[in-house]
Amino acid sequence: MKFFVDTAEIDAIAELNDLGMVDGVTTNPSLILKSGRDILEVTKEICDLVDGPVSAEVVALTADEMIAEGRKLAAIADNIAVKVPLTWDGLKTCKVLSGEGQMVNVTLCFSANQALLAAKAGATFISPFIGRLDDINIDGMELIADIRTIYDNYGFDTQILAASIRTVNHVTESARIGADVITAPPGVIKALASHPLTDKGLDAFMADWAKTGQKII
């Protein structure tokens, strides 16, 4: 399973990238706002830093304008994935840009039917939002499982990019179901390393080691 990091914060991306944990990056208008950076500048920096796909989202609402924005974003670097919303205009944009050989990430997906449409429109990635479904008492993981089944039934090669990941359990469940990619904030990716028994075990080893009076270096 590939790990994308869901942020436009360069330092956080660089830290995880140095560990080989970053297979790509996803951004959205809210994350650009949070970064305080210019979208074109920060996206270029991210593309230079990371080898994998970097999702940059259009903000127009009509297909013609989305296509123009998508082409401008795509010109930033070869590893751009143009991110479009799951609307009819977004699907039209997906069809046109994917037909030009451009990677497209269709975002704001909340149903299996929406995911089916995105695959038929040639999406490279479909982004179902787990956390936002959980927020309204709908099981986000069930959506990931449904999309996995449907894509496998028909051999769609659109990659399932599990998004709106808020917890380490969302990551585990996505991996168990067979999502192709997860995108998560840096804090969630770092939290994957944590376990209370690891901390407890390390404390005990340190205490015993101190009693030996030895040093390795």
Q: Does 114 bind ligand G3P (CB under 6 A)?
A: no
190 is catalytic: no
In angstroms, what is the minimal distance from the CB of 43 to ligand G3P?
A: 15
Closest C-alpha among 20, 25, 129 to residue 77: 25
Shortest separation between residue 102's beta carbon and ligand G3P, angstroms: 19
Q: Which of 28, 93, 98, 174 binds ligand G3P (CB under 6 A)?
A: 28
Write down the least CB distance from residue 184 to ligand G3P, Å: 8
Instruction: Give min distance, CB of 6 to ligand G3P, in A.
Output: 5
Cβ nearer to ligand G3P, comparing 134 with 146: 134
Length of the chain, in residues: 217
User: Which of 44, 72, 83, 95 is the catalytic position?
Assistant: 83
CB-wise, 124 or 183, nearer to ligand G3P?
183
Measured CA to CA, the distance from residue 14 to residue 61 in angstroms comes to: 32
Using the CB atoms, write b or e for 125-158: b if 16+ within 10 Å.
Answer: bbbbbbeebbeeeeebbebbbbbbeebeeeebeb
Query: Distance between CA 58 and CA 186 in Å, rounded?
Result: 23
Of residues 123-182, those binding ligand G3P (CB under 6 A):
129, 131-132, 163-164, 166
Question: Of the candidates 6, 9, 57, 69, which one interacts with ligand G3P according to CB under 6 A?
Answer: 6
Q: Is 199 exposed, middle or buried (0-12, 13-18, 19+ CB in 10 A)?
A: exposed
Q: What angle do CA 143, 93, 80 make, to 5 degrees?
A: 80
Non-local (6+) Cβ contacts of 37 within 8 A are: 8
| DSSP conformational letter for 137 | T
Q: Which residues contact 19 (CB under 8 A, 6 or more apart)?
A: none
- Whichever of 70 and 96 has its CB closer to ligand G3P, that residue is 70
Q: Which is nearer to ligand G3P, 6 or 69 (CB)?
A: 6
Give the shortest CB-5-to-ligand G3P separation in angstroms.
10
Which residue numbers are catalytic? 83
Please give the residue ranges that form the binding site for ligand G3P (CB under 6 A): 6, 26, 28, 129, 131-132, 163-164, 166, 183
